[in-house]
Amino acid sequence: MHLAFFIFTPGDTPMTQFHETITHIGQQAKDAAKILRTAATASKNKALLRAASLLRDRMDDILTANHEDMMKADERQLAPALKDRLLLNPARVEAMATGLEQIAALPDPVGAVDQLRYRPSGIQVGHMRVPLGVIGIIYESRPNVTADAAALCLKSGNAAVLRGGSEAICSNRAIADILRQALTEHQLPVASIQLIQQTERELVGAMLRSEQYIDVIIPRGGKSLIERISAESRIPVIKHLDGICHVYIDASADPEKAVAIAVNAKTHRYGVCNAMETLLIHADEAARLLPVIAAELLAKGVELRGCPRACQYVEAMQAASEEDWGTEYLAPVLSIRVVDDMEQAITHIERWSSGHTESIVTENHARGQRFLREVDSSSVMWNASTRFADGFEYGLGAEIGISTDRLHVRGPVGLEGLTTQKWIVLGNGEIRH
């Protein structure tokens, strides 16, 4: 029987309870957001820097809290990968503190005015960047998300409602307490950062229906979590699904660039969304380049699965199944397909890509331009490794995630993605005729 039933009181249903909890948190967040919207850049930065120093000062408290979570994880026999994500150590706490300092150092996006220009009527029209309002973050085991996400929301002038995994509740609470102390010390509303303490799943449902309080939901975690949240949410969701990324080596590729990019895109890191999962190669280059690329990948322990033509060039290659083209391996496995021309490469990408990142390797201007234009992914590259699809590499300074949505923000989401724009009009008494 679910915990929720134990808090059942006469006249209440459990669902009402969750609704009331969220209404209370939501109203506080909304009130905080009103103040945060126009909070001074200096106050936000000071609070972030203070939180960084408190994280270091209270290292022991955080590690003790994390130890409690780890003990429960042992009891519940969580998978080793999950426990590794949950674990905090001094280096990981230090990384959190450094992250907050980096966010403090970024330019404040709020209030930036652009494209202000005169219209024939005499008015000046432009945009001003403003916060989204209240952002709900739903995430799984990593406790560092508590600090990162809250800091990005604060810097961009948004109130954050955080809902971490139940397995990390003690760690998350310790971190959130520190952040909230820093807010209080710098006269910012403490409700700017709220951590939902209730660990019942039904609370997430109530959160996803609280569209009068929360302006956007950002889920961070595995694909099944994100799909469930998107399906259920009444609030707009900024989400990241698969990263099935392709590199296409064109007939006019520079061989050195082609080999370097293919090897880097696959082997720089395996478990990341911007790693290459499928290599497409022009038939004219397959004989020359596939054996070289395959040798380097095999030496690094990558398993290769190819189409019948690709298998002709590399002995140690297994036959790829139809399923391979649609799989995000997140592992040292690569599928390889030989194509007749760029059209075939683009058709393959249209059919199988998750719309995250694709790269062409070519020295041919017309084909490079066409690939950039025609491929409809959140990042499209020319002669560069797919591993560059990242907020830091793009110059955003920090990222809250990578969006595979089309609306509002695509690709790496930094501070700007957490804001919106309003129109401003400066006049001198103009009226409409």
DSSP H or E run through 229: helix 223-232
Q: Residue 156 or residue 359: which is nearer to a second copy going by CB?
A: 359
Q: Residue 66 or residue 419: which is nearer to a second copy going by CB?
A: 419
Min CB(132)–a second copy separation in Å: 6
Min CB(284)–a second copy separation in Å: 19
Q: Residue 165 or residue 368: which is nearer to a second copy going by CB?
A: 368
Min CB(84)–a second copy separation in Å: 23
CB 31 within 8 A of CB 189: yes
Name the residue with tokens 């397909």: 337
DSSP H or E run through 54: helix 41-57
Min CB(269)–a second copy separation in Å: 9
Phi then psi dihedrals of residue 129, to 5 deg? -80, 130
Min CB(264)–a second copy separation in Å: 4
**How far separated are the first and last CA of the chain, in Å rounded?**
68
Helix (H, G, I), strand (E, B) or coil at 75: helix
Q: Residue 166 or residue 383: which is nearer to a second copy going by CB?
A: 383
Using CA atoms, how far apart are residues 15 and 4, in angstroms rounded to an integer?
9
Strands 401-403 and 411-413: antiparallel
Min CB(236)–a second copy separation in Å: 5
Using CA atoms, how far apart are residues 402 and 381, in angstroms rounded to an integer?
16
CB 135 within 8 A of CB 160: yes
Q: Residue 287 or residue 425: which is nearer to a second copy going by CB?
A: 425
Q: Residue 165 or residue 412: which is nearer to a second copy going by CB?
A: 412
Using CA atoms, how far apart are residues 262 and 294, in angstroms rounded to an integer?
10
Contact footprint for a second copy (CB under 8 A): 34, 37-38, 111, 117, 119, 121, 123, 125, 128, 130, 132-133, 215-216, 236, 254, 256-257, 260-261, 263-265, 268, 350, 359, 372-374, 376-385, 387-389, 393-395, 406-408, 410-412, 420-432
